[in-house]
């Protein structure tokens, strides 16, 4: 079966975002961009499933500007087979529209499993996988820490839930979203990076997918983007005894 993995180009997780002074958003000019860390885990998982003989082909899809091709190449260098770039230009696209685009591709590619990151570290929405699963009417295994394909039509997914772990058996095809502990993504070797340059990446537009242009217009109006309130540093205490005294008598929390 084919695995489809969605990858998003986001601000690198080590970079502290800089807000534009007019409140219109985060300034991304000359900022290091990388593959969304949860999506990198998704790519790794799909490649491992292929190495284990459970998946025949790993197809990456990225939605965004032409620069998202770099993100696809990152995944190809890790070992994915080919990419699809849905070029929608610069505007940020909401999870609902992303899910609809992914649905169209999952259907036309006839994939057996879709693996996506549980959330993107820019908008922190945590919606796309669940929305895609609902639109396709496929089962979902969110926040996965183990993905174990049992047969052509069953997958066991262990999920990170509040308070512990939960294991589900899903009928395939299914949508899986990755949590941090699913795997540790590999580093791409230089030869693989070179090889990835030759792997096929098809570029499609919304029209090619039969979707109208107004389809990606945002539903939510972002009125402003501002910095959170800053907490002030407090006082230094000399030792454990002073700390307990302050907590008891000053803060009143003991």
Q: Which residues pair with 160 in a beta bridge?
A: 165
Q: Mark out the alpha helices in 89-163 (DSSP H runs).
A: 95-109, 128-136
Distances 182 to 45, 122, 146, 185, 208 between C-alpha atoms, Å:
8, 21, 6, 9, 34
Shortest distance in whole angstroms from residue 57 CB to another protein? 24
- Which residue number, 54 or 159, has a Cβ lying nearer to another protein? 159
The answer to whether residue 65 forms part of the interface with another protein (CB under 8 A) is no
| Count of residues in contact with another protein, rule CB under 8 A | 78
* Closest by CA position to 85, among listed 70, 95, 99: 70
- Given the rule CB under 8 A, which of 11-19, 63-71, 185-193, 200-208 is the region that contacts another protein? 11-19
The answer to whether residue 152 forms part of the interface with another protein (CB under 8 A) is no
- Which residue number, 190 or 220, has a Cβ lying nearer to another protein? 220
Residues 58, 50: contact at Cβ < 8 Å?
yes
Shortest distance in whole angstroms from residue 194 CB to another protein? 31
Q: Among residues 53, 164, 200, 210, which is the contact residue for another protein, using CB under 8 A? A: 164
The answer to whether residue 31 forms part of the interface with another protein (CB under 8 A) is no
d(CA 119, CA 134): 17
Q: Which of residues 114-133 bind another protein (CB under 8 A)?
A: 121-133
């Amino acid at each position: 079966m084919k695995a489809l993995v969605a990858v998003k180009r986001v601000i690198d997780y080590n970079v502290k975002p800089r807000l534009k002074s007019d409140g219109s958003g985060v300034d991304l000019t000359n900022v290091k961009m990388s593959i969304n860390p949860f999506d990198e885990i998704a790519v790794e998982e799909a490649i491992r499933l292929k190495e284990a003989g459970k998946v025949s082909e790993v197809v990456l899809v990225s939605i965004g500007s032409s620069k998202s091709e770099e993100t696809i190449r990152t995944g190809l260098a890790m070992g994915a087979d080919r990419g699809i770039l849905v070029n929608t230009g610069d505007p940020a696209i909401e999870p609902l529209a992303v899910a609809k685009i992914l649905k169209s591709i999952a259907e036309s590619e006839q994939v057996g499993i879709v693996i996506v990151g549980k959330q993107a570290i820019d908008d922190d929405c945590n919606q796309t996988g669940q929305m895609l699963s609902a639109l396709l009417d496929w089962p979902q295994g969110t926040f996965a820490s183990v993905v174990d394909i049992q047969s052509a039509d069953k997958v066991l997914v262990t999920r990170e839930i509040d308070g512990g772990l939960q294991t589900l058996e899903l009928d395939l095809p299914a949508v899986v979203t990755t949590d941090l502990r699913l795997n540790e993504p590999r580093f791409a070797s230089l030869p693989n990076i070179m090889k990835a340059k030759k792997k096929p990446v098809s570029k499609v537009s919304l029209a090619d997918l039969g979707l109208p242009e107004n389809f990606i217009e945002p539903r939510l109006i972002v009125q402003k983007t501002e910095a959170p309130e800053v907490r002030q540093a407090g006082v230094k205490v000399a030792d454990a005894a002073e700390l307990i005294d302050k907590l008891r008598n000053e803060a009143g929390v003991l």
